[in-house]
Amino acid sequence: MNTAPTTTETAVPVELDLDARLALAGALMDERLAHANIAFEVDTVHIPAADPIPAVVAPPIVTPGPAPCPYSTPLATTLHRARIRLENGGWCTGQLRDEQGAACLIGAIRAEADSRGQADDVCTLLLEAIRRDFTDAETIPSWNDAQRGPRPALLYLDRAAALANARGL
């Protein structure tokens, strides 16, 4: 008996990269959606007033408003408003305000204080809060100019506001 020689060829599995797998999955989903659309049309053909599937409309973009002030005392409220001013308008060093509207600590406090006397009281309280951790801080402007970014200034405005609120100032 003559038998032909058999050759066993093993198929090497092809490894697909991520883009190829995503393309295959996308094609499969497109096919499923097409079948679902046809099934929907077949199922609703006998309904005289069948509404088409409504278009999905994205909800309007809502930008959150400023958070309400958590403090009830005047100095704490001024410190909180100065913090918001620095967050929104920017922080700077070496001057009260720059051309872009950014302010240093003193500039933000003066802009938010109701009077010069209130600004002085707020600055005194802020310097006290700063000196609790930085005993060598001589003035607010010198401490402000020594910082590398706005985070410490915002942190100490928060600490001073909490201190003012605890004292009822």
pLDDT in tens, 104-125: 999 999 999 999 999 999 999 9
> How distant, in Å, are the alpha carbons of 22, 150, 158 from that of 77?
54, 19, 10
> How distant, in Å, are the alpha carbons of 67, 99, 154, 168 from that of 108?
18, 14, 11, 22
Is residue 66 situated within a structural domain? no
User: Which residue type, as a one-letter code, is found at position 107?
Assistant: G
Ramachandran region of residue 15, left (φ > 0), alpha (ψ -120 to 50) or beta? beta
Q: Taking a C-beta distance cutoff of 8 angstroms, is the pair 85, 103 a contact?
A: yes
Q: Where are the alpha helices (DSSP H) in 134-168?
A: 140-146, 150-167
* The pLDDT of residue 5 is above 70: no
Is residue 25 situated within a structural domain? no
Domains in the chain, number: 1
Q: Which residues contact 25 (CB under 8 A, 6 or more apart)?
A: none
pTM across the whole model: 0.61
* The pLDDT of residue 30 is above 90: yes
Is residue 49 situated within a structural domain? no
Find the domain containing 159 and state its range. Answer: 74-167
